[in-house]
Amino acid sequence: MKTETKAVNIDRSIGDFSYDVEYAKDAGVGLSERVVTYISDVKEDPDWVREFRLKGLKTFLEKPLPTHWASKDLEAIDFDKIRYYLAQGTAPKRSWDEVPEDIKRTFERLGIPEQERKFLAGVEAQFDSEAVYSNIKKAVGEQGVIFVGSTEGLKEHPEIFRKWFGKVIPIGDNKFSALNSAVFSGGSFIYVPPGVKVKHPLQAYFRINAENFGQFERTLIIADEGSEVTYMEGCTAPKFNTATLHSAVVELVALKGAKIQYITVQNWSANVFNLVTKRGLAHEDAEIKWIDCNIGSRLTMKYPGVIMKGRKARGEVLSIALANDGQHQDTGAKMIHAADETTSNIISKSISIGTGRATYRGLVHVPKHLKRCKNNTECDALLINSTSRTDTYPAISVRGTGNAVQHEASVSQVSAEQIFYMQQRGLTEAQAMSLSVNGFVNDLVRQFPMEYSVELKRLIELEMEGSVG
Amino acid sequence: MYIKSASMNELRVENLSVTIAGQKIVRGLSLDLPRGEVHAIMGPNGSGKSTLAKVLAGHPDYEVTSGRVLMDGENLFELEPDERARRGLFLAFQYPSEIPGVSIANFLRAAVQARLPEGEELEATDYYAKLYEKMELLGMDRSFTARSVNEGFSGGEKKRTEILQLAMVEPKYAILDETDSGLDIDALKTVAHGVNSLRSPNLGILLITHYQRLLNYIIPDYVHVMVAGQIVRSGRKELALELEERGYDWAREEAREMART
């Protein structure tokens, strides 16, 4: 099919540009059974997936918005005005040379092919609804590692895919997981065979290009016994005047003794509703670690979780949220202890700028019959302006006697004296702010892989530049 | 008040008056600090010494109601605090702020980088060589560079860190606000040694202090006595000793007399 580029809009920040692209496959505007069926037809879904989608739609329509506890701003999403599926209708390419030029240049501009050459074991690039590129290094593939888009995963590897799909996060987990179940497209499917330790990270990059669009990727990662894998995802979208919706579902399964590290650095523009459900299931002696950096968006609601199902399983969430003027980062973590000697760790840092608002919600659950479980929770908030806001809602339910939990929370403010001090050393107000913020997250960022800490530092600097007059 | 033509090589304060929250703190103060000289401002608590230091650096809480300050002929009050700093004004704070999570090495690097022309990158090896040299001068251990700026520092460590920064950014004019307060005699000697080693024809130093003690170790060229927002007397270094003997009451008396005339 033929695509044409008509215009390019460029703005200051890295992700804020879009190219006009013609889509061969377009489900139109609004959500209905017809739209869901259209997606199934285009993707040539097997029957069980068709049923799964329709059940998702039904559940979505039945469930109310969670505004009794969450932001009323959710009501601003007009589900009838969103486009649920947009694609060029071609299979993902294994080589960047085969990716259509108008799409390739978006990713080149975001630096993805370059990063791939430098330090990644594999890359998947999604443009609106579908993966346009997916490739893993030959040596990794030869070890039996599977890294493909979810569409390909469910068709080519049904025996593994179907066993775990929708099991960690059921359709009805929440309204947005139900929506994702109805219209999901794209996302990654990864399987790491027993004992295989993937040395370099696998990366996915999710790019929204179209206006009034909803991106609903679905990622499923299975690390078989004793294996190890690190997955990183980056997300951007251009700045449009109307709302864009990103509602992903990510399920992780770490079998006995396996380790999964899942890293997100999102840099959404300020019109994106980012409502994502992420959860991992850790079997005996397995470890799941979420590193979650939330920058941008109008409203983010995201609480990565770990269900520690097997003895000695470990769960960890390290998160950083930056709420700039007019933004709301509602983030946190869920730790469900379901076996003896399981340990979990939550470290959350949030920064609120201008009228930005950061909310931490944490759930830690240790039932009565368990022994020797441990949880550590630390949540620190930094307020930049007097109009900035932060709230903390920790829910810790620990029953029984042989378990240990500790919770620490702090709120601090960048003081005018601190900024003046730094300005007196020659730093501009924006540089001073950015240094304070980087200092605040520093001990956490040090635990990230180097490439990502550099990226994060740069994103914080960009945010601070934009926020100081 | 003495009038002199504005020089390109001095920090010149002309008839400066300052209020905070409507209260007059500095009242028509004039002062010339040429590069290459060390001037001390002595005065009792509440005389407006620290206010003068902060106003020169551009602290937003104070309101300048009259007068001007020229740094090498350029009006300071038309510049933001960071612009003043980059053009060569340094203030060693009496109470330096903590910057959690930002190491001394990174902070100073940002400060030095900020003084380079746009597009020019700091050479890391040169930077560290200079940093370690200055730290040695101030008797600081190298491991200190990894600590967060001023966080959990003792009084002496904070003051030493201020002087380290002074040494690294190489200003044209340095104001040292009560740098001697809270220091024991050994720390005072180290800090004084550091300051003395920075004395040069290219640097003008304004020492603000309550006590004569510091001036035994950093010998000033001139001493100014400040009381109630004014300089009531200026003289050579011997004036400091006279103050030590006679106390500030005598200076207060002079201030009252000045107010009458």
A416, A418, A443: residue with CB nearest B99 = A418
pLDDT tens string A91-107: 788 888 888 887 788 88
pLDDT at A383: 94
Does A12 score more than 50 pLDDT? no
Sheet with B10-20, strands from edge to edge, namely B23-34, B10-20, B63-71, B74-75
Does A322 score more than 60 pLDDT? yes
**The pTM is what?**
0.84
* Pairwise CB contact (< 8 Å): B101 & A440: yes
CA distance A222 to chain B (A): 36
Per-residue pLDDT averaged across A136-156, rounded? 91
Band (pLDDT 50/70/90 cuts) for residue A209 is: confident
Question: What string of H, E and C letters represents the secondary structure of chain A?
Answer: CCCCCCCEEECCCCCCEEECCCCCEECCECCCHHHHHHHHHHHCCCHHHHHHHHHHHHHHHHCCCCCCCCCHHHHHCCHHHCECCEECCCCCECCHHHCCHHHHHHHHHCCHHHHHHHHCCEEEEEECCEEEEEEECHHHHHCCCEEEEHHHHHHHCHHHHHHHCCCCCCHHHCHHHHHHHHHCCCCEEEEECCCCECCCCEEEEEECCCCCEEECCEEEEEECCCCEEEEEEEEECCCCCCCEEECCEEEEEECCCCEEEEEEEEEECCCEEEEEEEEEEECCCCEEEEEEEEEECCEEEECCEEEECCCCCEEEEEEEEEECCCCEEEEEEEEEECCCCCEEEEEEEEEECCCCEEEEEEEEEECCCCCCCEEEEEEEEEECCCCCEEEEEEEEEECCCCCEEEEEEEEEECCHHHHHHHHHCCCCHHHHHHHHHHHHHHHHHCCCCHHHHHHHHHHHHHHHHHHCC
pLDDT at A97: 84
pLDDT tens string A430-466: 899 989 999 999 888 888 877 778 778 878 887 777 6
CATH 3.40.50.300, applies to B10-97+154-260: yes
Residues of chain A with a CB closer than 8 angstroms to some CB in chain B: 412, 415-418, 420-429, 431-432, 435-436, 438-443
More confident residue, B186 or A132: B186
* Cα–Cα distance measured from residue A41 to residue A392, given in angstroms and rounded to the nearest whole number: 44
Q: Quick check: A274 and A306 in contact, CB under 8 A?
A: no
Contacts of A425 in chain B (CB under 8 A): 85, 107, 110-111, 114, 165, 169
Q: Where are the domains of chain B?
A: 10-97+154-260
Does A237 score more than 80 pLDDT? no
CA distance B237 to chain A (A): 29
Q: Which amino acid is at B42?
A: M
pLDDT at A139: 85
A421, A429, A441: residue with CB nearest B97 = A421
* Pairwise CB contact (< 8 Å): B99 & A439: yes
pLDDT at A45: 95
CA distance A363 to chain B (A): 28
Per-residue pLDDT averaged across A316-327, rounded? 94
Task: Say which range, A207-216, A360-369, A377-386, B3-12, has the weakest mean pLDDT.
Answer: B3-12
pLDDT tens string A166-199: 999 999 999 999 999 999 998 999 999 999 999 8
pLDDT at A467: 66
pLDDT tens string A241-289: 777 899 999 999 999 999 999 999 888 888 899 999 999 999 999 999 9
Contacts of A454 in chain B (CB under 8 A): none
Which residues in chain B land under pLDDT 50?
1-3
Does A5 score more than 60 pLDDT? no
Residues of chain B with a CB closer than 8 angstroms to some CB in chain A: 57-60, 80-82, 85-86, 90-91, 93, 96-102, 106-107, 110-111, 114-115, 148, 165, 169
Mean pLDDT value across chain A: 89
Band (pLDDT 50/70/90 cuts) for residue A118 is: confident
Provide the ipTM: 0.95
pLDDT tens string A14-25: 677 777 777 778
Q: Which amino acid is at B221?
A: D
